[in-house]
Amino acid sequence: MASSVSISAELTYMRIRGLMGYFTEASKRYGIPFALLLAVASRESRMGLALSADGTGDGGNGIGIMQIDRRYHPKFTESHSPLDHQANIDYGAQYLANLLRQFNRNTTRAVAAYNAGPNKVRTAIYAGLPPDSVTTGRDYSRDVLQRKQLVSQLLGLSKAVSLSYLLPLSAVAFLTYNYINPQKL
């Protein structure tokens, strides 16, 4: 499970890179909660911090912030650069919206399917197993939904924003910004 400090650093990185607008656009376009998209990006690539220099992860199979898998989405991955963040976020949101429709808006099942694929999740459900039983770490949807809650709190999207977050978040934001953009003396 990610901590509020690590999620805060990821959000700071996204702001500095100017990528938050792409999540906002995709959220509106596909009717996916903004915090859910960011939570998936957090689990997949630490919102881009875990990507290699060429924009890939997962041994080169996952591309971009949303880690679109080359093996299962070849049409998209062959026609888009792993560094095309806008297209990657848009495609990830579109795919998640499709999964939510397939699973009758059941977020747990749709998020698990984002990781393991819809057929594996359906097979698990039919066998009486939880959707996460076929996901990476066997905790993918649970972890993403916990990250969503943290993102919501950190961005002030939920009603349960704690003042205890403010000082640590300010410090992390300051340190992250200075690490990414060192000042020349």
* Residues carrying an active site annotation: 44
Cβ count within 10 A of residue 154: 22
Q: How far apart are the C-alpha atoms of 44 and 96, rounded to whole Å?
A: 13
Alpha-carbon dihedral 37, 38, 41, 42, rounded to 10 degrees: -140
State how far the Cα of 78 lies from the Cα of 128, in Å rounded to an integer: 37
The contacts of residue 181 (CB under 8 Å, 6+ apart) are 16
Residue 103 CB contacts under 8 Å (≥ 6 apart), including other chains: 109, 110, 113, 118, 121
Burial of 104 (C-beta count, 10 Å sphere; 0-12/13-18/19+): exposed
Report d(CA 154, CA 41) in Å as an integer. 16
